[in-house]
Amino acid sequence: MRRSKSYFHVSVGNLNLDIVTYVRKPLEPDESLIAEALEIRPGGAAANYAVATSWFGHRAALISSISNQPLSMSALKAVSEKGVVTTHVKIVEDVPGMVIIMVYPDGNRSMIRYPGANQSLTPSDIPLDLLKEADVLHMASVNPALACEIASVAEKYVPLVSYDPGGFVSTARSRVLKTLKHVDILFLNKHEAHVITEGSVNRLETLNVELIVLRLGGKGALAINRDKAWYSRAEPVERPVDTTGSGDAFNALFNATYTETGSVEKALKYATAAGALKASCRSSFICGDKRVFRKQLMKTTVEPVSGSMSSVVTE
């Protein structure tokens, strides 16, 4: 895609150490498994988003708080080497943010999070000049109290503000809802959609946000823009092996394409294709070349949705 300008994203949230084990099945109580492989690698939703944005051809800056320990500094270098601006990342004396991940043969995974140094991030860590330069501000798995403060300032300067609250939907639902008045796009997965609507996904369109994008894993994705909705699904061109970071790649390509084109349909198609592409490699970052991505786009469909949202979400 040819671009008439260089779009700039500011990604706010975690840069973690992902401790990843590839196992044949989920653990049972008192059970011990031998991992087929183990990796310690950079990850975190905000870092994954920034890397995917850079991979797509947009500029990206990461705003995060990380440990000064060597493994965290190595993770920061890896993000920088992907083309992401990391000069605004705060470095503190604390335990690194970590995620323990178990990946199963179908590529799906379970995770245990420890926030560590990520918790030291504050609104003052985001330079106002950076917001004035940005085309997109994305907040990934950010505490809603912090997200609300950041977004209330960013909405004055940034054309597009998006929020993926992640697990905070379950632990701080009311605060997430209060944050939405400052947000243009809300990203959720299927579980989070049920939690935020208290089990009635048809109520998604009543939330106080312009655009809601719902990731359904291997079953596709749904975008709701007021009284209109679209459903997208990808037929993977390569076998899924690790879905870690797929949602973040999805979010990045949705925002990037929507910013360029203003088309929800096209943004949903590119996002769904990016999520499928990411799942095809053992990494928390998006991988693969643009040739494979173009093939994945050809295997990705988008269609309007009529009738009940719940029928799409629960099918």
Please, are residues 293 and 273 in contact by the beta-carbon 8 Å criterion?
Answer: yes
**Amino acid sitting at position 191:** H
pLDDT of 201 reads 84
Long-range own/partner contacts, residues 37-40 (CB < 8 A, 24 or more apart): 37/282, 39/282, 40/71
% of residues, the chain, pLDDT over 90:
88
Q: Which residue has the tokens 């960013």?
A: 154
**Mean pLDDT over all residues of the chain?**
94
Measured CA to CA in angstroms, residue 299 lies from 11, 165, 166, 189, 280 at distances of 29, 29, 28, 22, 14
Report whether pLDDT(50) > 90. Answer: yes
Report whether pLDDT(313) > 70. Answer: no
Q: Which residue has the tokens 């004035």?
A: 132
pLDDT of 200 reads 83
Q: What does the alpha-carbon distance between residue 310 and residue 302 come to, in Å, rounded to a whole number? A: 18
Report whether pLDDT(310) > 60. Answer: no
Please, are residues 152 and 174 in contact by the beta-carbon 8 Å criterion?
Answer: no
pLDDT of 307 reads 64
If you write DSSP's letter for every residue of 172-218 in order, what string do you get? -HHHHHHHGGG-SEEEEEHHHHHHHTTT-GGGGGGSSSSEEEEE-GG
In terms of Cα–Cα distance, which of 278, 229, 272 is closest to 254? Answer: 272
- Residue of 287 and 310 predicted with greater confidence: 287
If you write DSSP's letter for every residue of 239-253 in order, what string do you get? -----TTHHHHHHHH
Torsions phi, psi for 258 (to 5 deg): -65, -40
Q: What does the alpha-carbon distance between residue 275 and residue 39 come to, in Å, rounded to a whole number? A: 21
